[in-house]
Amino acid sequence: PPMSTPGLSEKASLAQPADEKAVPPQLRCNSCSKPVFNAFQTPHGCRICQSCVQAKLHPTERRLCPGTTEACKDEDEEIRICQSSCVPDIATRREISKLTVFCPNRDGGCKDQMKWREVDTHLEKCEYEKVSCELCRDSILKKRLKSHLSDECRQRRVTCGLCQQSVVHSEMEKSHRNLDSATCCPRYTDYCPFCKDKSRKLNRKDFVEHLKTCPDKPNECKYSHLGCERKARKSDLEKHYRDEVDHHLTLLDSKLRQVASGPRFAPPTAATAAATVVPAGGTGEVEEVKRKVADIHDHFKKLQVNVANWAHTTLEFEQMADKFGGISQMRQFLKNLDEKIRQMETPGVEEQRWVTCDLCKKELLHSDMESIHRNLDSATCCPRYTDYCPFCKDKSRKLNRKDFVEHAKICSKYTVTISGLLQYLQDIGTRLRLTSNLSNAEGTVDASSSMVQQKLNEIEFRLLNLEGTSYDGFLVWKVSNFTKRRREAMDKRVTSIFSQPFLSRHQDFKFRVRLFLNGNKSGKGTHVSVYLVLMQHEFDDIQEWPLKATVSFKMVNLRNRADDVAKTVRFDSGNQRPSGREDLSVCCGEAKFMSISQFKNSDRFVKNDSFYLEVDVAVDGESGQGRRGRRK
């Protein structure tokens, strides 16, 4: 296609002629009058620069020529053109390339001049060209890159003068020499940054002990679980609670909407259950986990209903609001919050239908009929609707809305709900100036929600392990984010990574693979090292020790499986039952499994920043690969 014809580069287009007036008319664009850079010629003879062709012409739809020559107005000529009808003007491009221009970095300080066709060659060595720092990604002049890397880059590594540890410069003051940081230098000492005790300097260990009694240490806001990041002394937090009531309510509103609509709280459906891959021997445990997930979901929905009921109840406290003052705005906010919570539930077609109340003749949504309009505990309850008190066992007479409000003042069961709500308001902030002895309702809801969250995390972790566990001694491990993991290994931040656990049989030996992307021991810096780790298992008591087995490691060649890098090793007789730190109980492996240069510079093993490692453990001559069948 004409637009793909090679010409001067995009960087070269930034250059300006050394003598603008010396550019002849035939070398100027007939549209914008600038030098006709990467010239194109129209069917009727116009010369137009590449930028005008791309900006003013459609790729295939013909439009009037943007040029200003007489030929552009001649209807006898082909003046309706498109990008595909324009052809590169090689002769004009050749003349343009001979013009003398300034370096594109002239504004940065470069004074050199060259032919336009020589711009790219010049930029390769121009000291005023900007390059990206490989550490911090800042744009730096090429001539300052060396000094930037040694003296200015915030990601450069420096050596701590106290412990001789290599640290990123930006982390030196932020964490390495900060007593309040868990990674503080063990030899660094300073006064407590919180209190006025300047009697002695403390190291990190002494500082941790000092914090237990420090009167001025910062404390988290009691609503940190909602997202409040405020930390202050206890005396200052009291003022924070008074001044930030609106902020805390907004956080609560956000959290309620998040947990109510989050997909992780949706109960398992038949479709998702059918799509779940259940490993052999693990069906019963997976089903038990799914049952617990459903139970937790039901428990959470009940808690959510309680929160909604408390929000509804606030609308009934108009007389009580007069006693405490300032609650009217809070009441309106909670009314809006109640509406938002109800809007979280996606109504079906039936719930969207409009119906007419046969008592008061009012029109309303079908979904609101039972939940609000015929609910004595709702402020918008039908005035003609009657029912027994939904809280106590008094069935002597039915009440309408007005009678229920009076009855609620003496109803013992209803008082519990009122007390819980008032305590919830007290916890939000002392602006409400409640003088009653209130209990912590909001804390109860949040504690229960935290419990649900913790249990779900545990269950998800167990599901991942179950679904990713092999029970036949054969593991196919896909390692993603190779570039990032390789860089972390070179920087000694994360020197090794571990695979998911797998077993030789369902109730046999338990293993995992440990991989050093920058090598280990004799292969450090030159080879990829791989080891098999024997893990503690609940059936270790009934196994025969020491373990005798053969292990095959195979790096998958994505182009030709016949060229896989494979090595086989035997367990040593000294390998015994693991104890203590199981991840460090190395059974066997290869420090020089394969060359790093062979690995990282070839797309035979790495594709889409991922690679595959196969491990086959044969205990007493039985191969996991053989049990699973032939693999291709």
pLDDT of residue 100: 93
Both 79 and 200 in one domain: the answer is no
Q: What is the pLDDT of residue 93?
A: 92
Asked if the structure places residue 544 within a domain, the reply is yes
Look at residue 445 in the predicted model and tell me its pLDDT: 44
Q: How many structural domains is the chain composed of?
A: 4
- Judgement on whether residues 191 and 49 belong to the same structural domain of the protein: no
pLDDT of 52 > 80? The answer is: yes
611, 482 Cβ separation under 8 angstroms? yes
Is the same domain home to 310 and 186? no
Give the least confident one: 75-89, 95-109, 271-285, 517-531: 271-285
Q: By mean pLDDT, which of 93-107, 128-142, 170-184, 436-450 is the weakest?
A: 436-450
pLDDT score recorded for residue 225: 85
Q: What is the pLDDT of residue 39?
A: 92
Q: Are residues 59 and 197 in the same domain?
A: no
Domain containing 556 equals 469-628
Distance CA 359, CA 387 (A): 13
The residue that leads in pLDDT, 256 or 210, is: 210
Task: Select the more confidently predicted residue: 52 or 602.
Answer: 52
Query: Do 285 and 423 share a domain, yes or no?
Result: yes
Higher-confidence position of 447 and 528: 528
pLDDT single digits (tens) 461-483: 555 555 556 778 889 999 999 98
Same-domain check for residues 276 and 401: yes
Helix, strand, coil fractions of the chain, as percent rounded to 5? 40, 15, 40
Nearest in space to 455 (alpha carbons), one of 298, 257, 271? 298
Last residue of a domain, one of 117, 144, 178: 117
Q: What is the dihedral of CA 171, 172, 173, 175, to 10 degrees?
A: 60
First to last CA, the chain: 43
- pLDDT value of residue 220: 87
Greatest mean pLDDT range, 163-172, 432-441, 620-629: 163-172
- Quick one: 529 and 588 in the same domain? yes
pLDDT by residue (tens digit) across 498-547?
A: 998 888 865 578 889 999 999 999 999 999 999 998 888 887 888 888 88
**Confidence at 438, pLDDT banded by 50, 70, 90:** very low
* Whether residue 60 has pLDDT greater than 70: yes
Q: Averaged over 454-459, what is the pLDDT?
A: 55
User: How confident is the model at residue 78, as a pLDDT?
Assistant: 83
Verify that 482 and 525 share a domain, yes or no: yes
pLDDT, position 339: 59
Question: Going by C-beta distance under 8 Å and a sequence separation of 6 or more, which residues neighbour residue 119?
Answer: 8, 9, 11, 12, 15, 101, 103, 104
- Collapse the DSSP code of 351 into the 3-class scheme (helix H, G, I; strand E, B; otherwise coil) and give the result: coil
Indicate if 438 and 493 belong to the same structural domain.
Answer: no
pTM of the model: 0.35
Cα(453)–Cα(296) distance, rounded to whole angstroms? 9
Q: What pLDDT is stored for residue 309 in this prediction?
A: 54
Q: Say which range, 23-37, 45-59, 210-224, has the weakest mean pLDDT.
A: 210-224
Task: Examine residue 546 and say whether the peptide bond preceding it is cis (omega within 30 degrees of 0).
Answer: yes
Q: Is residue 452 part of a domain?
A: no
Residue range 333-386, pLDDT digits in tens: 566 656 555 554 444 444 456 788 889 888 887 777 877 888 888 878 899 999
Chain segment 197-249, per-residue pLDDT in tens:
888 899 999 998 898 888 888 888 988 888 898 888 877 888 888 888 888 88
CA 368, CA 389: separation in Å to the nearest integer? 20
For residue 332, name the pLDDT band (cuts at 50, 70, 90).
Answer: low
> What CATH number should be reported for the domain holding residue 19?
3.30.40.10
